[in-house]
Structure 1
Amino acid sequence: MNYTENYKAIKIDVQAVDFDIDSSIQQLIRDQIDKIGRHSSKINAVDIYFSTEGHGSSAVKIVGMRVGIPGPDVYAEEKGDNLSQLLKSVADKNIRQLEKL
């Protein structure tokens, strides 16, 4: 499932390979963008990638997030089982990178 939306003048592009993103995850994405936005007012785009590595019970979910800002973008990726926790984790990693700029 892929979708694009414009949220508070930030272009959000979500790509999910082999699974659907429900409305609760979409809202969590917006919440995390709000959280990141408190640390940088210059965000113009956020790309989020959801995928799965492996098969069956050994499958691991992967979430990657690129935050587009003037200059070098920041990117973080996390692997695990819980999409909500992974999304929060990559948002926190991107916030730490933005604070270093």
Structure 2
Amino acid sequence: MNYTENYRGIKIDVQAHQVDVPVGLQAQIRKSIDKLLRFTPTINAVDIYLNISGKGKTAERILGMRVGIPGPDVFSEEKAKDRWNTMLRSVTDKNIRQLQKGKD
């Protein structure tokens, strides 16, 4: 399921292959954007990529997030068997570290 949303003037594009995006995850994406906005006020777009690799017990979830800002974008990815919300928090924190590094 893919969906696009405009949240606070930021284009959110979620590409989910073999995955249904629950409403709770959509709300968590908005919270992540609010958190990112504390570190950079100029976010143009956020792209979220969700995928499941493998089947059964070997299935691994993959979540990537690209934050479109003026200058080079930041991107991080997480591969795990965790819940989507946990992985989203992790990639958000990774992107925040990249944003902070870029300010130095």
Letter aligned with residue 96 of structure 1: R
What is the match of residue 89 of structure 1? 90
What is the match of residue 28 of structure 2? 28
Structure 2 residue matching 1:27: 3-state secondary structure: helix
1:19 and 1:99 mapped to 2: Cα distance? 32
Q: With structure 2 as the length reference, what TM-score do the two structures score?
A: 0.95
1:97 and 1:15 mapped to 2: Cα distance? 23
Q: With structure 1 as the length reference, what TM-score do the two structures score?
A: 0.98
Stretches of structure 2 that go unaligned for 5 or more consecutive residues are none
> Given the alignment of the two structures, is residue 39 of structure 1 paired with residue 39 of structure 2, yes or no?
yes
1:19 and 1:70 mapped to 2: Cα distance? 30
Aligned length: 101
Percent identity over the alignment is 57
**RMSD between superposed Cα atoms in Å:** 0.5
Which aligned runs of 4 or more in structure 1 are off by greater than 3 angstroms?
A: none
Letter aligned with residue 92 of structure 1: D
Write the deviation string for residues 55-90 of structure 1: whole angstroms up to 9, x where unpaired: 111100000000000010000000112111100000
Cα distance, 1:40 vs. partner?
A: 0.4
Stretches of structure 1 that go unaligned for 5 or more consecutive residues are none
